[in-house]
């Protein structure tokens, strides 16, 4: 007689008030392939853990966003938010689709140049722009989004010494009815700092104020907040038109659009509560188009710096089970080969995790730990998964944003990142780190060199 | 079988007829006693101990459904399975926490599973939320106590300046304290934020008598039914133990105006405070039947029946009369259930 | 090692402990272990029986069986006197 398929024995107490398992099959449905490529094959070839990006999903998501805005508004320009994911292959897909670059450091700036983005199509944001950084940006004719008054003065000195002019925008922060307020970047609208900054910049003969920029927050669940922000930016632009007879050429509404991930503490699933790209687009474009500023002359170009909403869905993290154990209180704990070192976003998301092989309908609640010998390394505090065993594979969804930039080289090294192209071909786009990768950066003082005699 | 009654299958959630009861069982009783409908009731439950599961004279068949936190994908999947066995015509969700998801999937239910609902859209659903109720009231000509949502002590201090004492300090989910001075308000802010987290709600205090109305709107500006009630006794959980239908034309007029102006679609419970000056303040608008909706039936208005009829595409006549001075008095009794039934619902998810 | 007397287990894997009123759900392998326990088999005998029945390596089975027995004990389903 052939042996029966084994599933480890399981016992679950039936408690009142804990809901039920019926209909929650989707946490059990195995994800065995990504864009037609078997997960098992990816992990055999590229190891575990391993990040996977789908070019198909990136392009589809991008085109959907462009469609949402450009069917409502005639002049729309996307600028890829480098900090969200600055792997060159990823950036180049966005640039290939027509996206400019939005950078917040000279490091990202140089990446953008190397990715073939003309200097005039780079938006330079952020509080950290040194004298050298600004000089580089000025020389390349980039759009400089000014964050604070010190930057106005510094830039003014550079322009004078170089004998050049710069096209600049002001970063504005404001109350959009969404809290907490993001008032640390740029100039505050309500308390008049924004207007002060306008007068300072307008007084600089070498600065041309061409744009107004805001970025009202992150993972915004209210599309209405963008309507408020658009309105305030238009008000400011209109005031500049009236006072200085200068026409603001573009409004940059930043990003902050939510992805389908579920925030910690949210009762409902992220994908059930987030606005769609069309909701955001409608709020922004209808506000601008109906504002007296837009009606008073040529309508401003709309710039968008969406990052998360454009790349999150395209990223997957593949990993496997290292071990199972019981905690002191009887809870099941599962240790994975990936943790917060790779999934920085697990600090604020409850990432969806799917098994990559078939199971029965039984499932159990568990804590999901990463591999680090550190107490902070918790991927999910409570998740219901099938009866996993050592070596089983899982797929973590929606990890495309921020993880491949905020990952830590801590205890473990960073793994391979692959891209599946539209033909289903797999390309390695970032090699896994090795001990040499890290040692290469280090220097040993002569007296600590091995074989150089005992230290004194 | 009584002749002339239209047969239909109605799925109902909120079978938790416990000490803080859900509206499901009262809705089912009203449907059972309908003179126009011959209903088969499919119960939808989240927990194996919801009493309605075991009330076989009221509920024909029950199914467990996934918690709202599992998401709409899981819910749709489960309803697809249920509909492969049942022929549900109309579904009436009765839990606050599940409404968002049901509203979201309502078009899919209609188009792919032929299950009809009668719910507001998401914009209307969100517009009457606690945090924006003041604006909602302004828009529709109803007084709402002024309120501020605050995230920091500094904001709280700033917001306090716009109020006269006493004020109400409310927690994100529960808890409310009345404060008679700035010191008391700040201390309440600390206590409540420590317990429930931020934000904290600061609200104008309205002294008066609570009066509630159960209302049904047709979504095009008609109020199909409305019955007002005053609670006579409140349990330690803040739920009505007994209440009585009252006559109050001003209140009825206000309720109708709100439903007409907002074009509210579906059932809702309006919670008003009648101030000492005789003004009505809308305190909350719950977008579902209240647990006391059976009183409306007892007073001559069968709201659940009218809802099913509207969901099926009929246009019932607005009900304008109701009996004043009828009371509801809640009671509880123990069902005796063999373990096998609990086993069945727990392991198979159906009963 | 003995399972508490009077533990009733159904075809669906529903387990009821009449002594405490607790109920549980288990899977096919769990059911088999409980049946073997009820027959009075030792841990070693159970291990052997399961290996004859299921496609599994000994190390995994040993570990999983120990964990299952621990959970039975944790939920007070094992007869303390018979240990």
Q: In order of start, what are the domains of chain B with their CATH numbers?
A: 6-118+334-348 (3.40.50.20), 147-204 (3.30.1490)
pLDDT-derived band at A15 (thresholds 50, 70, 90) equals confident
Domain A25-52+313-429 in CATH 2.40.37.10? The answer is yes
Name which of B64, B339, B342, B349 to mutate to probe chain C: the one with the most chain C Cβ atoms within 10 A of its Cβ.
B339
Mean pLDDT value of segment A253-266: 90
**Between residues A40 and A16, the one the model is more confident about:** A40
Q: List, for residues A125-155, the tens digit of each pLDDT value.
A: 999 999 999 999 999 999 999 999 999 999 9
pLDDT-derived band at C80 (thresholds 50, 70, 90) equals low
Residues of C in contact with A12 (CB under 8 A): 24-26
C20 contact B CB<8A: no
Mean pLDDT value of segment B117-131: 91
**Between residues A320 and A365, the one the model is more confident about:** A320
Residues of A in contact with C8 (CB under 8 A): none
A330 contact C CB<8A: yes
Mean pLDDT value of segment A66-88: 97
- Within 10 Å of residue A401's Cβ, how many Cβ atoms? 25
Residues of B in contact with A263 (CB under 8 A): none
Residues of B in contact with C23 (CB under 8 A): 339, 342-343, 346
pLDDT of A24 over the 70 cut = no
**Residues of B within an 8 Å Cβ radius of A:** 46-49, 63-75, 77-78, 81, 97, 100-101, 104, 149, 151-152, 199, 346, 349
Nearest CA in chain B to A268: B69
Contact at CB, A22 and B64, closer than 8 angstroms: yes
Using alpha carbons, select from A225, A218, A228 the residue that is nearest to residue A256: A218
pLDDT of A366 over the 60 cut = yes
pLDDT of A453 over the 80 cut = no
Residues of A in contact with C30 (CB under 8 A): 9-11
Mean pLDDT value of segment A97-104: 98
Residues of A in contact with C60 (CB under 8 A): 6, 8, 389-390
Give contacts of A 270-329 with C, CB under 8 A.
324, 326
H helix or E strand, kind and range, residue A278: helix A277-290
The Cα A102–Cα A109 span in angstroms is: 8
Q: How large is the angle between the packed helices A224-244 and A277-290, nearest 10 degrees?
A: 30
Of A14, A24, A271, the CB nearest to B346: A14
Domain residue spans of chain A: 25-52+313-429, 56-309
% helix, strand, coil for chain A, step of 5: 35, 25, 45
Contact at CB, A9 and C23, closer than 8 angstroms: no
pLDDT-derived band at B153 (thresholds 50, 70, 90) equals confident
CATH class of domain segment(s) A56-309: alpha beta
Which pLDDT score is estimated for A62? 98
Q: Which range has the worst mean pLDDT, B48-57, B231-240, B298-307?
A: B231-240
Which pLDDT score is estimated for C3? 82
Give the burial string for A89-106 (b: 16+ CB within 10 Å, else e): bbbbbbbebebbbbbbbb
CATH of the domain at C28: 1.10.10
Nearest CA in chain A to C49: A3
**Between residues A4 and B294, the one the model is more confident about:** B294
Query: Is residue C2 in some structural domain?
Result: no
Using alpha carbons, select from C72, C61, C69 the residue that is nearest to residue A389: C61
Which pLDDT score is estimated for A35? 97
Query: Is residue C65 in some structural domain?
Result: yes
Mean pLDDT value of segment C30-56: 92
Contact at CB, B348 and C12, closer than 8 angstroms: yes
Which pLDDT score is estimated for A22? 61
Which pLDDT score is estimated for A184? 86
Q: What's the whole-number average pLDDT of chain B?
A: 92
pLDDT-derived band at A428 (thresholds 50, 70, 90) equals very high
Q: How many CB pairs under 8 A join A and C?
A: 67
Mean pLDDT value of segment A336-351: 95
Let me know: does C24 contact A364? Beta carbons within 8 Å. no
Structure tokens at A54: 């789908």
Q: List, for residues A191-235, the tens digit of each pLDDT value.
A: 999 999 999 999 999 999 999 999 998 888 889 999 999 999 999
Residues of A in contact with C7 (CB under 8 A): none
ipTM value for the complex? 0.92
Transcribe C14-77 into DSSP letters: EEE-TTT--EEEE-HHHHHHHHHHHTT--HHHHHHHHHHHEE--HHHHHHHHHHHHHHHHHTT-
Structural domain for C67, as ranges: 8-82
Mean pLDDT value of segment A162-166: 94
Q: What's the whole-number average pLDDT of chain A?
A: 93
Q: What's the whole-number average pLDDT of chain C?
A: 87
Touching subunits for chain C (3+ Cβ pairs under 8 A): A, B
User: How many Å lie between the alpha carbon of C79 and the closest alpha carbon of chain A?
Assistant: 17
Contacts of range A290-295, beta carbons closer than 8 Å, 24 or more positions apart: A291/A230, A291/A231, A291/A234, A291/A235, A291/A238, A292/A234, A292/A238, A293/A234, A293/A235, A293/A237, A293/A238, A293/A241, A293/A248, A294/A234
Let me know: does B246 contact B228? Beta carbons within 8 Å. yes
Which pLDDT score is estimated for A455? 53
User: How many Å lie between the alpha carbon of C77 and the closest alpha carbon of chain A?
Assistant: 11
Nearest CA in chain B to A352: B70
pLDDT of B1 over the 50 cut = no
Which pLDDT score is estimated for C7? 84
A360 contact C CB<8A: yes
Of A16, A23, A271, the CB nearest to B77: A23
Touching subunits for chain A (3+ Cβ pairs under 8 A): B, C
Touching subunits for chain B (3+ Cβ pairs under 8 A): A, C
Q: Mapping DSSP to helix (H, G, I), strand (E, B) and coil, where does residue A168 land?
A: strand
Q: List, for residues A26-74, the tens digit of each pLDDT value.
A: 557 899 999 999 999 999 999 999 999 999 999 999 999 999 999 999 9
Contact at CB, B104 and A272, closer than 8 angstroms: yes
Of C23, C53, C68, the CB nearest to A9: C68
User: How many Å lie between the alpha carbon of A225 and the closest alpha carbon of chain B?
Assistant: 14
Nearest CA in chain A to C32: A9
pLDDT of A452 over the 50 cut = yes
Q: Which range has the worst mean pLDDT, A3-17, A206-220, B47-61, B76-90?
A: A3-17
Nearest CA in chain C to A390: C60
Contact at CB, A11 and C65, closer than 8 angstroms: no
Which pLDDT score is estimated for A17? 55
Residues of B in contact with C31 (CB under 8 A): none
How distant is the alpha carbon of residue B196 from its chain centre? 23
């Amino acid at each position: 007689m052939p042996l029966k398929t084994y599933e480890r024995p399981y016992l679950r107490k039936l408690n009142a008030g804990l809901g039920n398992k019926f209909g929650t099959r989707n946490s059990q449905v195995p994800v065995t392939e990504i864009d037609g490529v078997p997960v098992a094959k990816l992990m055999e070839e590229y190891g575990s853990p391993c990040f996977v990006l789908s070019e198909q999903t990136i392009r589809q998501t991008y085109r959907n966003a462009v469609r949402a805005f450009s069917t409502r508004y005639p002049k729309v320009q996307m600028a890829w938010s480098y900090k969200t994911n600055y792997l060159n292959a990823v950036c180049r897909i966005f640039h290939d689709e027509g996206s400019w670059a939005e950078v917040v450091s000279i490091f990202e700036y140089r990446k953008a140049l190397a990715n073939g983005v003309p200097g005039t199509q780079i938006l330079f944001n952020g509080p950290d722009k040194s004298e050298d950084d600004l000089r580089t940006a000025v020389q390349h004719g980039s759009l400089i989004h000014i964050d604070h008054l010190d930057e106005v003065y510094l830039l003014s000195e550079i322009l004078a010494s170089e004998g050049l002019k710069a096209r600049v925008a002001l970063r504005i922060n404001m109350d959009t009815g969404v809290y907490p307020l993001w008032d640390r970047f740029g100039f505050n609208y309500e308390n008049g700092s924004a207007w002060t900054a306008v007068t300072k910049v307008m007084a600089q003969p070498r600065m041309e104020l061409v744009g107004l920029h805001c970025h009202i927050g992150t993972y915004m669940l209210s599309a209405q907040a963008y309507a408020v922000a658009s309105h305030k930016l238009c008000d400011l632009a209109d005031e500049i038109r009236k006072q200085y007879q200068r026409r603001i050429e573009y409004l940059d509404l930043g990003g902050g659009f939510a992805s389908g991930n579920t925030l910690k503490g949210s009762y409902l699933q992220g994908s059930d509560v987030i606005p769609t790209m069309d909701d955001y687009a409608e709020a922004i474009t209808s506000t601008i188009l109906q504002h007296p500023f837009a009606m008073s002359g040529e309508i401003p170009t709309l710039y968008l710096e969406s990052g998360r909403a454009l790349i999150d869905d395209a990223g997957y993290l593949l990993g496997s089970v290292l071990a199972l154990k019981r905690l002191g209180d009887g809870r099941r704990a599962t240790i994975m080969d990936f943790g917060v070192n790779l999934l920085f976003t697990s600090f604020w998301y409850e990432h969806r995790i799917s098994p990559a092989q078939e199971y029965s309908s039984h499932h159990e609640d568990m804590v999901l730990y990463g591999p680090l010998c550190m107490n902070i390394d918790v991927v999910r505090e409570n998740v219901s998964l099938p009866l996993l065993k050592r070596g089983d594979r899982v797929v973590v969804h929606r990890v495309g944003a921020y993880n491949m930039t905020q990952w830590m080289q801590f205890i473990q090294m960073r793994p391979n990142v692959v891209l599946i192209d539209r033909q289903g071909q797999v390309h390695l786009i970032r090699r896994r780190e090795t001990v040499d990768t890290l040692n290469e950066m280090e220097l040993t003082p002569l007296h600590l060199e091995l074989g150089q005699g005992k230290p004194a | 079988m009584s002749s002339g009654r239209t047969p239909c299958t109605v799925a109902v959630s909120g079978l938790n007829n416990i000490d803080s009861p859900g509206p499901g069982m009262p809705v089912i009783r009203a449907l059972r006693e309908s003179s126009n409908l011959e209903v088969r009731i499919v119960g939808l439950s989240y927990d194996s101990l919801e009493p309605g599961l075991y009330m076989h004279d009221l509920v024909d068949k029950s199914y467990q459904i996934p918690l709202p936190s599992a998401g709409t994908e899981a819910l749709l999947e489960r309803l697809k399975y249920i509909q492969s066995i049942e022929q549900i015509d109309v579904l009436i969700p009765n839990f606050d926490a599940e409404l968002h998801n049901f509203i979201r999937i309502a078009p899919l239910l209609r188009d792919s599973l032929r299950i009809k609902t009668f719910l507001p859209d998401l914009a209307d659903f969100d517009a009457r939320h606690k945090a924006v109720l003041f604006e909602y009231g302004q828009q529709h000509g109803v007084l709402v106590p002024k309120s501020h949502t605050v995230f920091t002590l500094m904001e709280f201090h700033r917001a306090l300046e716009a109020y006269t004492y006493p004020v109400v300090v409310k927690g994100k989910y529960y808890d409310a304290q009345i404060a008679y001075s700035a010191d008391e308000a700040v201390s309440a802010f600390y206590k409540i934020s420590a317990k429930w987290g931020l934000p904290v709600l600061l609200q104008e205090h309205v002294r008066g008598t609570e009066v509630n109305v159960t209302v049904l709107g047709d979504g095009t500006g008609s109020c199909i039914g409305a019955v007002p009630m005053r609670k006579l006794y409140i349990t330690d959980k803040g739920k009505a133990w007994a209440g009585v239908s009252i006559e109050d034309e001003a209140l009825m007029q206000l309720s109708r105006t709100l439903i007409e102006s907002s074009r509210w679609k579906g059932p809702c419970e309006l919670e008003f405070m009648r101030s000492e000056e005789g003004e009505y303040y809308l305190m909350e608008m719950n977008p579902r039947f209240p647990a006391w909706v059976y009183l409306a039936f007892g007073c001559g208005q069968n709201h659940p029946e009218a809802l099913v009829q509207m969901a099926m595409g009929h246009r019932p006549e607005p009900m304008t009369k109701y009996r004043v001075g009828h009371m509801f008095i809640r009671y509880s009794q123990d069902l005796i259930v063999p373990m096998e039934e609990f086993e069945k619902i727990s392991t198979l998810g159906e009963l | 090692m003995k399972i508490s007397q009077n533990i009733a287990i159904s075809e669906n894997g529903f387990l009821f402990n009449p002594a405490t009123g607790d109920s549980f759900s288990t899977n096919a392998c769990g059911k088999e272990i409980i049946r073997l326990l009820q027959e009075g088999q030792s841990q070693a005998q159970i291990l052997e029986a399961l290996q004859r029945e299921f496609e599994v390596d000994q190390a995994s089975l040993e570990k999983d069986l120990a964990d299952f027995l621990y959970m039975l004990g944790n939920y007070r389903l094992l007869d303390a006197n018979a240990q």
